[in-house]
Amino acid sequence: MSATGSEGALERVREADLAAFCREVLAFAGADLETADAATRAMLHASRLGVDSHGVRLLDHYVRVLRGGRVNGTPMLRFDRADKPVAMLDADHAHGARATYAAMERACLAARRYGIGAVGIRNSSHFGAAGAYALAAAEVGLIGLVVCNSDAFVRLHGGAERFHGTNPIAAAAPSGSGRPWLLDMATSAIPYNRIVLHRSLARPLPEGTASTESGEDTEEPDLAAMLAPLGGAFGYKGAGLAGLVEILSALLTGMGTSAELLPMTGPDLSTPRGLGAFVLAIDPQAFVGRTEFEAGMRRYVAALRGSAPAEGARVLAPGDREWEEAENRARLGIPIDPHSLEAFRRLSEELGVPPPASIQR
Tell which positions 333-352 bind a second copy, by CB under 8 A: none
Which range in 38-46, 267-275, 307-315, 349-357 contacts a second copy by CB under 8 A?
307-315
Residue 141 as a binder of a second copy (CB under 8 A): the answer is no
Q: Report CA Rg, the chain.
A: 20
Rounded Cα gap, residues 54 and 3, in angstroms: 10
Residue 262 as a binder of a second copy (CB under 8 A): the answer is no
At 127, the amino acid letter reads F
Kindly state the helix (H) or strand (E) to which residue 244 belongs, with its residue range: helix 235-246
- Per CB under 8 A, the list member of 67, 196, 208, 324 interacting with a second copy is 208
Q: Which is nearer to a second copy, 71 or 89 (CB)?
A: 89
What number of other Cβ atoms are within 10 A of residue 51's Cβ? 23
Residue 246 as a binder of a second copy (CB under 8 A): the answer is yes
Cβ at position 29, least distance to a second copy in Å: 32
- Per CB under 8 A, the list member of 125, 257, 340, 348 interacting with a second copy is 257
Q: Which residues face 222 on adjacent strands? A: none
Residue 282 as a binder of a second copy (CB under 8 A): the answer is yes
Burial class (CB in 10 A: 0-12, 13-18, 19+), 186: buried
Contact 343, 359 (CB under 8 A): no
Residue 77 as a binder of a second copy (CB under 8 A): the answer is no
Which range in 9-17, 19-27, 36-44, 168-176 contacts a second copy by CB under 8 A?
168-176
Q: Which is nearer to a second copy, 203 or 299 (CB)?
A: 299
Which range in 37-45, 62-70, 98-106, 309-317 contacts a second copy by CB under 8 A?
309-317
- Per CB under 8 A, the list member of 127, 133, 181, 344 interacting with a second copy is 181
Cβ at position 85, least distance to a second copy in Å: 5
* 55 CA to centre of own chain: 9
Question: At 11, is the secondary structure helix, strand, or coil?
Answer: strand
Cβ at position 48, least distance to a second copy in Å: 20
| Total residues interacting with a second copy, rule: CB under 8 A | 80
Rounded Cα gap, residues 136 and 146, in angstroms: 11
Q: Which is nearer to a second copy, 189 or 343 (CB)?
A: 189
Kindly state the helix (H) or strand (E) to which residue 235 belongs, with its residue range: helix 235-246
